[in-house]
Structures are given as structure tokens and as C-alpha cells.
Amino acid sequence: MATVLKNANVLTPNGFRRCDILIKEGKILDMGNLQQEGTDLSGKTVIPGLWDIHTHGGFGHDFNEANAEQMEEILHFYARNGVTSVLATVMTDRDETIKRQLTILSEVAKKHPIVKGIHLEGPFLSAEYKGAMPLEYLQIPSFEKFEEYQKCANGLIKLVTIAPELPHATTVIRRISKSGVAVSLGHSSASYEQTVSAIKAGAKSFTHLFNAMRPIHHHTPSIALAGLATDNYTEAIVDGRHLHPDVVKSIAKIKKDKMIAITDSLMCAGLPNGEYTLAGTPIEVEDGDAWIKGTKTRAGSTLTAIEGLRNVMKFCKYTLEQSISFFTSNPAKMLGMADKVGTVEIGKFADLLVLDDKYNLIETYISGNKIN
């Protein structure tokens, strides 16, 4: 059965276009002045659905602890906040916990096309820049261990974060990259030279640039400078807390089509201040800011994707048209999925958002199905 969205102001790769959209079997079949009845959007704005390639959860659950039903609640929360493509992020934990959660996610993904893959954030990370990662579960990089995880995930791991200075890291990065999985560099004390070696081995991205990594010094450039100076993609948490708004603006100006906006959201996203957990670690949220309880270590965010898009517009003083790629086509390109999602075009999946004139989210469509 076909769905027709009429009289929409559609953001296409060539700018805004007033047209109708014909959706059939989950994809955009046609766009234009279509002689078919449908839902009249009365000029409301339609944009591509948003990606979030780095998010641990929301609405009371996280991917390191949730069962299948709770994961579905997380995914519905994402959809209500503009996400149509997600890399569910599993972080450093007990080995058996990582494997269990990867297995559950692989089954949930079969029913929910919002899940485009899994981001494995760890356990091959630096103790010095572990952030909220539990120290006792960090591991030395091992391709054999990665293969164990990927088997549990039924091949769904699409992105893995590794600290490039660790023993065997360059070899493991090369082998993972050759297997078709994207490698991101982060939670790291790496030098500039170590980082460049990892990039030459195949690493494609940087995990939450500037956060949980050695900062830039003008005498000893580090992984953080490599994130700006190389042609790799770079994640940026756009809550205005992890990065000063002017830093977000600078990253966007320097990286352009290689910046990927993320939320790095926790189970507390969408919920009030209070006490929560992240993979079992106690978290405290004050004034919407999440910290490991009793420390000065920030643990992730309470941000939603649609808020993040509005933040990018505000921080960078960009229009919607200038801002959209950070949450859509850029991550799709990085992950090799730009032929399927990331823009509103004929032949691509009908992952769409309908916004009002103040960019408030009205409706979400995933593979042509209206979610809210």
C-alpha cells in the first residue's frame, strides 16, 4: 500500500522543494506534483530523519543493561525525538555482559529498521582517558576478541572505538577495517604520530572529539589535533556542555562534511534530574548535566537528537539547510550507507521528519511507517 505526503516543503540535496512524496514498500518511489490523494502537510517542512551513531540509551534504560522489551522502549524514545537511524552503543563492561547485550540487540534489530548497527565503545580503551568506562574491564586490543563480539552481534557491529596507542592496536585496527567495520579513535592518550599510524591502518573517525582524549598542546600535538588536521570524520557532542558552543562552531567550520553530531545520551535522556546508572555505574543528573556520582567526571548527556540539531543551528549560526548534514548524510557516508539513507531522494528509504515552522517535530516516518 502506498503513502502520499502532499504539499510538503522538502529539504533535498539541492535545497528546499515544494512537492509531494510517494512512499511504497518503505522507500521513496516518486517526488513531484503527483496526481494522487494523500495526507496534506500544508507546506510543513520535511527533512531526512536523523542519525545518532553514539548513544547509550534514554527514557530510563541503557543498552548495557536493557532486555529486549526495554531496548524497544529506547528505540521508540529515539523515534519520538527525530532519530530514524541509530547505532546502539554498547560500552566497556564484563565480557559476558557485552556478549549478552550484543546478542539481544541483534535480535531486536531484526524487527526495528531504526537500528542500522551497533557501536562498540570499548573495551579496547586507555585507562588514562577512560572517562565513564569501568577500569577493571578495559582490555588490550585483540582481533580474536572482536570476532567473538561480532559473532554475538550477528555481524551488526558497524563501528568500534579503539585507543590507538595500546599494544597491538594498529594491527587490530587494520584487520577490523578490512573486515568492513569502521574504526573510530578515542578514549585515548595517543600522540599525533600514533594517531596518524592508526589512520593509515584504516581508522575512519574520532569518537567525541576533545572529550576523553589528550588535549592539544602547541609543543606536543596529540590525537585531538589529529582529529582536526586529518581528513577523518569526527564526532562532536552538541549539548553545549561537553564542548563549548564556540568549539562546536570551530569544528564545523574546519571539518565541514566530516563532522558528525552525536548525543552520547544516557538512560536519563528525556527524564528529570536525579540518580541513574550507566552500565551499572551510579550517575547523578543536576540541571540536565550527567556526572559519575561523587566525581567531576562527566558521564554522557541528556540530549535528544532533535535538540542537538537545533543546538547546531544556534551554536554555528547556521540555517537548517546548512546544519542537517551533521546529523544525516555525514554519518551515512562514513558508514557506507549513503545510497540508502541520509537524504530525501527517490530510491532511498522513507526515513523522514515533519517539522512545524519553529522546527518542532510533528511526525516521524521510518521506512515509510509513521511512528508518532
How far apart are alpha carbons 100 and 149 in whole angstroms?
Answer: 9
Report the b/e string of 273-286 with b at 16+ CB within 10 A: eeebbbbebebbbe
Whether the upstream peptide bond of residue 215 has omega within 30° of 0, thus cis, is no
Amino acid at 36: Q
How far apart are alpha carbons 225 and 7 in whole angstroms?
Answer: 46
Closest CA to 83 of 283, 328, 311, 257: 328
Is residue 30 part of the annotated active site? The answer reads no
Q: Which entry of 264, 287, 339, 356 is annotated as an active-site residue?
A: 264
> Which residues contact residue 138 at a Cβ distance below 8 angstroms, ignoring those fewer than 6 apart?
92, 122, 123, 124, 125, 126, 127, 130
Side-chain-side CA neighbours of 305 within 13 Å: the count stands at 34
How far apart are alpha carbons 168 and 83 in whole angstroms?
Answer: 36
- CB-based burial of residue 363 (10 Å sphere; 0-12 exposed, 13-18 middle, 19+ buried)? middle
Query: SS3 of 52, please?
Result: strand
- CA 278 to chain CA centroid, nearest Å: 17
Q: Are 99 and 137 in contact (CB under 8 A)?
A: no
Catalytic residues: 264
